[in-house]
Amino acid sequence: MNKTVNQKAWFLVLPVFLLVAFSAVIPLMTVINYSVQDTFGNNVFSWVGLDWFDEIIHSQRMHESLARQSLLTTIILLIEVPLGIFIALNMPKKGFWASFNLVVISLPLLIPWNVVGTIWQIFGRKDIGLLGHTLSILGIDYNYAQDVLSAWITIVIMDVWHWTSLIVLLCYAGLQSIPDAYYQAAKIDQASRWSVFRYIELPKMSGVLMIAILLRFMDSFMIYSEPFVLTGGGPGNSTTFLSIDLVNMALGQFDLGPASAYSLMYFLVVLLVSWVFFTVMTNLDKKGAA
Amino acid sequence: MAQIKLENLAHSYISKPTSKSDYALQKMNLTFEDGAAYALLGPSGCGKTTLLNIISGILIPSEGKIYFGDKDVTSLDALGRNIAQVFQFPVVYDTMSVRKNLAFPLQNRGADPQYIKKRVEIIAKSIGMEDMLDTKASGLSADAKQKISLGRGMVREDVNAILLDEPLTVIDPHVKWQLRTQLKALHEEFSHTMIFVTHDQTEALTFADKVVVMDDGIVVQVGSPQELFERPTHTFVGYFIGSPGMNFFDVDIIEDIISMGDVKLKLHSIFPDLKGRVELGIRPEFITLSKDSGDIKIEIIRIEDIGYHKIVRAIHDNIKINIVVPEDVKIDNNMKFASFDRDHIFIYQDGWLVEPKEAKR
């Protein structure tokens, strides 16, 4: 087929281009601008090249935050993905209880991050929180403000509580799209429950599951409000994840240059991991199809 | 393998059916002989899939019993009845190879690996996929996938029946023909009882030894393709089977004289007094055209030449008539009369065939 060449068509792209420029490119340029300059105030800037990047790459502080962040994201994914699939598999497929469960399951997703942090902050307190108080009555030493392990467990449970629903909803949608004939055929073939999951349900929901994992990876890697409200990054630096660390640097210490370099690298890491993840998953899919 | 018997079977999707129209399947008694190929034929919504699902155990009938041989299987599920089913849309395990797909039902039953290997190869050959055994199922075309589904249905030797629910719907027309032939060959090769649901009469008539024709939840006739054609016991069978279907005329009948408007016809046999709606049925193949005399006057509207014969569309007294004329017979528009072959006239009362009191001849 012959394509018509019409350069005027570029004008049709212009509105989108402007929109993206103002929403993404220009703010990003500011950050890039800061990341290669130094200032002592009064709007006087001096060029420092890649010095800030060099500093951040070799800073132990970033390494530690990155390690904490990676650990948290790994734990969260390892819990939320299987749990989400498990819940989705066991939800009723139709009728009143299906709708009821969907509403209940979606509720945590509607709560703003700050509020989730606050809820768990109060819930876990020894003096007035139901969880904290109950645990202390039972004689369990639980104090998220002073004990590293308690803080981590609380953050993980909080995130699982807040976000497993997302995976449940996506997997549930994937499961709903499987025609009944598949289950009937599997029954006739005398397939075990595990086989039904392995050969019918999992392949059919792999597409949505991939999106779910990707979303959960990105979101958890950028987690900020919830742990900030709950622990403020403590005790010590034990729950200072990348975002918290970055905000401390940019707004707490007002080190705009290093913070800009930090955020650019942070952005690239998220982008890179997402890209690798996406490519690997789609290639696996294609290989499966070939 | 066993004979399948339906005893006083009826089904309603409503929990407390009150009137006849609440039933998706009206009360029926039906026997499927062991090893024969059956087709359940009828228009969409006539209850044929409901009946199939009842036989396979996906649905439990609201009334009546099902026997496989002497065993009452009414409350058993598909697994307990040991049947195989092929669905309207291909059901394959996408992540498995063709070989694993075919082996799956045997593997799950813990069959001997040597036997599985042999059996899979036999089946793959029958469905024409022996050189694709190690390809993954997910990338295959719809008809290849449906062949796998057929193969999976066929792989177990001990099944009581293989049920096919419009399995050729998604298949391209030219492959359809090929698959149908294959299916027929598979039936002859393995002689499983097969029940094939379809709304396509060609499919039913070419595949089955016996056709079960259904309409509106009622089994209207069970018979060989030839019986359905030559002696339809219900007007529905008359116009559903054959292309074009049977011609019907509202008539009155006294003994052996039929009155059809102003026209009177004398039959070979004497009929009892009939009440209700009385119809005369005759297949288009048994009407002949002529120029100057005949049973009824007609006017030819259109002639369709479809190669091996011609279909003449005509009217008599505002009633449409279809006439099939052999290829070698010349037709001209002066042909104003049509005659009915007396041996192929059937009389129906409220839809059902009426037997004559006595043949006189």
Residue A26 lies in a domain: no
What pLDDT, in 10s, does the model give residues A21-76? 888 888 888 888 888 888 777 777 788 878 788 888 888 888 888 899 999 999 99
Residue A198: closest C-alpha in chain B: B95
What pLDDT, in 10s, does the model give residues B33-48? 888 889 888 888 788 8
Cα B117 from Cα B310, distance rounded (Å): 53
The pLDDT score that the predictor gives to residue B335 is 80
Average pLDDT estimate for B46-72: 85
Residue A32 lies in a domain: no
Residue B345 in this model has a pLDDT that exceeds 50: yes
Q: Say whether A191 and B58 touch across the interface (CB within 8 A).
A: no
- B138 close to A (CB below 8 A): yes
Instruction: Measure in Å the smallest separation between the Cα of A195 and chain B Cα atoms.
Output: 9
Cα A45 from Cα B305, distance rounded (Å): 92
Residue A240 lies in a domain: yes
Q: Say whether B78 and A184 touch across the interface (CB within 8 A).
A: yes
The pLDDT score that the predictor gives to residue A290 is 44
Residue A19 lies in a domain: no
Question: Which residues from A are below 8 Å from B85, CB to CB?
Answer: 184-185, 188
Q: Is the pTM of this model over 0.80?
A: no
Question: Which residues from A are below 8 Å from B102, CB to CB?
Answer: none
Interface residue of B82, B87, B166 to substitute, partner A, most A CBs within 10 Å: B87
Percent of chain B with pLDDT over 70: 99
Instruction: Domain count for chain A, please give it.
Output: 1
The pLDDT score that the predictor gives to residue A287 is 60
**What is the average pLDDT value for chain A, to the nearest integer?**
86
Residue A1 lies in a domain: no
Specify burial of residue B339 (Cβ count, 10 A radius: 0-12, 13-18, 19+).
middle
Can you give the residue range of the structural domain that contains A77? 51-289
Residue A12 lies in a domain: no
Residue A35 lies in a domain: no
CA B142 centroid distance within chain: 24
Task: Name the strand (E) or helix (H) holding A91.
Answer: none
The pLDDT score that the predictor gives to residue A162 is 92
ipTM of the complex: 0.75
Query: In chain B, what are the domains?
Result: 4-236 (3.40.50.300), 247-359 (2.40.50.140)
- A181 close to B (CB below 8 A): yes
Question: Which residues from A are below 8 Å from B87, CB to CB?
Answer: 181, 184-185
Residue A279 in this model has a pLDDT that exceeds 80: yes
pLDDT band at A110 (very low <50, low <70, confident <90, very high): very high
Question: Which residues from B are below 8 Å from A193, CB to CB?
Answer: none
**What is the average pLDDT value for chain B, to the nearest integer?**
84
- A199 close to B (CB below 8 A): yes
Residue A102, domain CATH = 1.10.3720.10
Interface residue of A182, A187, A188 to substitute, partner B, most B CBs within 10 Å: A188
Average pLDDT estimate for B100-116: 87
pLDDT band at A156 (very low <50, low <70, confident <90, very high): very high
Q: Say whether A288 and B95 touch across the interface (CB within 8 A).
A: yes
Please tell me the number of Cα atoms within 13 Å of A212 on its side-chain side. Answer: 27
Residue B153: closest C-alpha in chain A: A189
pLDDT band at B1 (very low <50, low <70, confident <90, very high): low
Instruction: Measure in Å the smallest separation between the Cα of B77 and chain A Cα atoms.
Output: 9
Instruction: Find the range with the poorest average confidence among A17-26, A199-208, A278-287.
Output: A278-287
Residue A22 lies in a domain: no
